[in-house]
Amino acid sequence: MALTGGATTASVYRIEVGERLYLLRIEGQPSPLRNPHQYVSMRIAAEAGIAPKILYVDEAARIVVTDFIEQVPLQTYPGGPRALAQALGELLARVQATQAFPYFVEYPDIVARLFAHVCRTGLFAGGVLDQHVERLELLREAYRANSSTLVSSHNDAVPNNILFDGRRLWLIDWESAYCNDPLVDVAIILDGVARCPEMEEVLLGAWLGRAPDEAIRRRLDVVRAFTRLYYAGVFLSASAAVSWVKEETDLSVPSAVDFQRAIRAGWLKAGTAETKHILGKMFLASFLSGVAAPGFDAAV
C-alpha cells in the first residue's frame, strides 16, 4: 500500500508479510542539496532505538526497508501536552547523545543556498526580498560569533516525522540528518509541536536537564530565525515548481488564526501549491518578525 503525507519526494509503501508490517522507502531523484549521510545517520538512530529497526538498505539504489510503526495521534499522548513536551525534550537529548552523525554543512549555509534558489525562481519581483537577504547576512554574522559544538541532529523534526505508537515516540524520515547545531532540532519542534510557552519551558528543561539560561535563549532566537527561513524556502520552492505565481510584489499574509480558519472551512486545501505558497510567505514574515509561524500541518 502506498503511503502519502509529508513533503518528501520519496515513494513510501506499507508491506504486509504474514502478520508482520514493514515500510519500504524509495528515495526520489537526488537534488543538488542532497545530504549524503542520511543512511549512516539512520543506522545510528535505529541502533539507539530512536528510529525504526532497519531490515535492509541499499544506499546506491536509495532503498531502505524498516519496521512499520502503527501511528497513534500525538494529541492522545498520555498526560497531555506537558507530558508530550517532556518526552520530546528527552527524545532530542537521546538523539544528541548518540554516536556523532557525519558532518555535512553549516546550517546557515544550507539555509542561504535554499533561499538564494527561491530568489532566483522569479516568484517575487526584484527587491521584494531585499530585507530578508539583509537580515540573513546579519544573522549569519551573529551566528559565527557564537559558534556551538555540533551534535547528531535529525534536522526535520516536524510533526509528520514524529510518530507515537501508543507507548513511545519515534523519529522517521532521516533524509536531512547530519551533525548540526543542537538548537536546530529544538527550534523546529518548538515551532511544530510545542507551540505554547508552558510546553516550550518543559521541553527545554527536559532537553537540557536544567532550565535554559539567557545565553541559550538568545542563541535559540537566532537559530529559530534560520529554521523559519529554511521552511519558507521549502514551501516556496514547492510552489515555484508548479509556477504558482510570478513576480509577486505583495508579501502580506493572513494571521495564524485566519489561516487555520481557512483550512478548516476548506477555503484552502492542505498540500496544494496555493497553500504552500501562503505558508512560505508566512514563514518569511516569521523570519523577520520573530512571531511564530502557523505550524506545518497544512503542508500535508
Q: Say if residue 103's pLDDT is above 90.
A: yes
Cα 204 to Cα 295: distance, rounded to the nearest angstrom: 19
Of the candidates 243, 237, 247, 216, the one whose C-alpha atom is nearest the C-alpha of residue 284 is 237
pLDDT at 3: 61
pLDDT at 219: 94
Residue 2's pLDDT band, with cuts at 50, 70 and 90, is low
Contact 259, 278 (CB under 8 A): yes
Average pLDDT over every residue of 133-141: 95
Residue 5's pLDDT band, with cuts at 50, 70 and 90, is low
As a whole number, the mean pLDDT across the chain is 91
The CATH architecture of the domain made up of 74-106+117-299 is: Alpha-Beta Complex (3.90)
Contact 221, 105 (CB under 8 A): no
pLDDT in tens, 154-166: 999 999 999 999 9
| pLDDT > 70 in the chain, percent | 92
Of the candidates 155, 129, 143, 174, the one whose C-alpha atom is nearest the C-alpha of residue 288 is 129
pTM assigned to the model: 0.92
Ranges of each domain in the chain = 74-106+117-299
Q: Say if residue 31's pLDDT is above 60.
A: yes
Cα 73 to Cα 156: distance, rounded to the nearest angstrom: 19
CB atoms within 10 A of CB 249: 9
Cα 49 to Cα 80: distance, rounded to the nearest angstrom: 23
Average pLDDT over every residue of 10-19: 87
pLDDT at 230: 97
More confident residue, 95 or 273: 95
Average pLDDT over every residue of 160-179: 96
Average pLDDT over every residue of 5-28: 82
Average pLDDT over every residue of 210-224: 94
pLDDT at 271: 86
Q: Say if residue 53's pLDDT is above 70.
A: yes
Helices marked H in 33-79? 38-47
pLDDT at 275: 92
More confident residue, 19 or 210: 210
